[in-house]
């Protein structure tokens, strides 16, 4: 794979950089730069701006409404958006369920759902994990029983990210309780406004409302909202997980976080009063994570440029290293801030906060350092725990 930027690639980078600088609303950029809490409307406004430019679905092929970009262009777009202070696009629709609909959905389903994902009309969430069925996802127990031209769904999903914002949820449900675990599962698309759905908040260790429990009580789902054949949902699930784990590399976000960490390291004093960047031990840790980011970048580009219908087991490498790097960056940020990182102050995340920061180092991304550290403890668990990823790597890549 040629990683050399051509003149066209450099011109594209400049185009994206100018677009983000000119079109990203200032209030959204300010929230991102200062690590403040983003609203549902903030994400949707930015999605609609991108869609109007034809960039709402950067990873999609042209035949489904995407720009049809190369792997390098998608990488450049992602990097420049994060570097310019843009929020990440919500991946559940764009990068998870959309590829499943493209691959396994009918033409009618593609026409119905894909345009509304790209333009931000529909916000999606993921109904995979259940109490007792997380890493062992095939043990899920949420049932879907046929009743005429509908399924009747009963059960519970948990750790459902941003379900309180979602219009739709894609769900794995058990349609044949007598089949082997992986063979009795179907993939359903469910309107979150359906009678019988209850969303209950889960408060995370950082005090934020990000995930939820979702309960299904005799929820009726039309048969035409099943993707693929009945009892073949595990095929869709594995396909989707490859895309989710590739996205979990979070390369653009991690590179932006690294640059923010460098800024803090140039300001934060060590024990002797010199900036931390001048201390060899801390500088060595910065160099180590920078090298790991460079290696991750090359690996991501190789995976993205492979002409395949879905990422293979190499996606586990991206998920494993990407999540570990994100955790390392939050740890180093905490270390750099020292005692200023000790208090977790959720009120500083509110856009209307008018108080005076405890220190210049607490302004900007530093204000949320402790919360981000706590939040990213989950990064090595979601999308399949890193222990599971190591098993996949050992068996499918190394043949052990």
| The pairing of beta strand 197-203 with beta strand 209-222 | antiparallel
Question: Could you tell me the CA-to-CA distances from 114 to 41, 103, 118, 150, 386 in Å, in that order?
Answer: 20, 12, 6, 22, 31
Greatest Cα-to-Cα distance within the chain, rounded to the nearest angstrom: 75
**pLDDT given at position 71:** 84
DSSP string, 107-140: HHHHHHHHHHHHTTS--EEEE--BTTBSSSGGG-
Contact 302, 1 (CB under 8 A): yes
CA atoms within 13 A on the CB side of 274: 8
Burial class of residue 103, CB neighbours in 10 A (0-12, 13-18, 19+): middle
**pLDDT given at position 358:** 46
Question: Could you tell me the CA-to-CA distances from 67 to 58, 74, 166 in Å, in that order?
Answer: 6, 10, 25
Q: What is the pLDDT along the chain (400 residues), one digit of tens a residue?
A: 556 778 998 999 999 999 999 999 999 998 888 778 899 999 999 999 999 999 999 999 999 999 999 888 999 999 999 999 999 999 999 999 999 999 999 999 999 999 999 999 999 999 999 998 887 889 999 999 999 999 999 999 999 999 999 999 999 999 999 999 899 999 999 999 999 999 999 998 888 899 999 999 999 999 999 999 999 999 999 898 887 777 778 888 999 999 989 988 888 888 888 989 999 999 999 999 999 999 999 888 887 777 555 667 788 888 899 999 999 999 998 888 887 776 666 666 676 766 545 445 555 445 567 888 888 888 888 888 888 889 988 888 887 6
Q: How does pLDDT run across 302-311, given as a tens digit for each residue? A: 877 775 556 6
Domains, the chain: 7-89 (no CATH), 124-231 (2.40.110.10), 248-397 (1.20.140.10)
**pLDDT given at position 354:** 60
Cα–Cα distance, 365 to 372 (Å, whole number):
9
**pLDDT given at position 367:** 55
Question: Could you tell me the CA-to-CA distances from 37 to 15, 209, 222, 223, 301 in Å, in that order?
Answer: 28, 11, 36, 38, 31
Which residues carry out catalysis? 244
Q: How does pLDDT run across 352-395, given as a tens digit for each residue? A: 766 545 445 555 445 567 888 888 888 888 888 888 889 988 88
């Amino acid at each position: 794979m040629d990683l050399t930027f051509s003149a066209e690639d450099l011109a594209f980078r400049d185009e994206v950089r100018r677009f983000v600088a000119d079109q990203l609303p200032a209030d959204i950029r300010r929230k991102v730069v200062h690590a403040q809490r983003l609203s549902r409307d903030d994400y949707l406004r930015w999605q609609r701006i991108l869609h109007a430019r034809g960039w709402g679905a950067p990873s999609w092929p042209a035949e489904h409404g995407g720009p049809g970009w190369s792997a390098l262009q998608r990488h450049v777009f992602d990097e420049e958006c994060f570097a310019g202070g843009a929020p990440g696009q919500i991946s559940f629709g764009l990068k998870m369920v959309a590829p499943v609909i493209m691959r396994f959905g009918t033409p009618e389903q593609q026409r119905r759902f894909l345009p509304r994902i790209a333009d931000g009309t529909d916000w999606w969430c993921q109904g995979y994990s259940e109490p007792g069925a997380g890493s062992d996802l095939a043990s899920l127990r949420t049932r879907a029983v046929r009743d005429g031209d509908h399924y009747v769904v009963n059960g519970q999903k948990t750790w459902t990210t941003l379900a309180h914002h979602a219009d739709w949820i894609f769900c794995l449900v058990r349609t044949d309780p007598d089949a082997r675990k992986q063979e009795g599962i179907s993939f359903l698309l469910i309107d979150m406004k359906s009678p019988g759905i209850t969303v209950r908040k889960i408060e995370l260790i950082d005090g934020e409302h990000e995930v939820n429990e979702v309960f299904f009580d005799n929820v009726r789902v039309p048969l035409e909202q099943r993707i693929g054949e009945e009892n073949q949902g595990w095929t869709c699930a594995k396909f989707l997980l490859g895309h989710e784990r590739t996205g979990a590399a979070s390369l653009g976000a991690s590179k932006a976080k690294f640059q923010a960490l460098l800024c803090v390291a140039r300001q934060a004093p060590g024990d002797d009063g010199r900036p931390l960047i001048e201390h060899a031990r801390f500088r060595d840790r910065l160099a180590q994570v920078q090298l790991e980011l460079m290696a991750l970048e090359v690996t991501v580009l190789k995976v993205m440029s492979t002409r395949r219908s879905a990422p293979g087991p190499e996606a586990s490498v991206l998920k494993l290293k990407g999540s570990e790097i994100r955790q390392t960056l939050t740890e180093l940020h905490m270390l750099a801030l020292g005692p200023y990182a000790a208090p977790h102050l959720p009120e500083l995340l509110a856009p209307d906060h008018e108080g005076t920061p405890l220190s210049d180092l607490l302004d900007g991304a530093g204000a949320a350092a402790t919360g981000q550290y706590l939040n990213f403890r989950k990064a090595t668990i979601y999308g399949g725990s890193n222990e599971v990823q190591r098993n996949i790597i050992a068996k499918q890549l190394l043949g052990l």
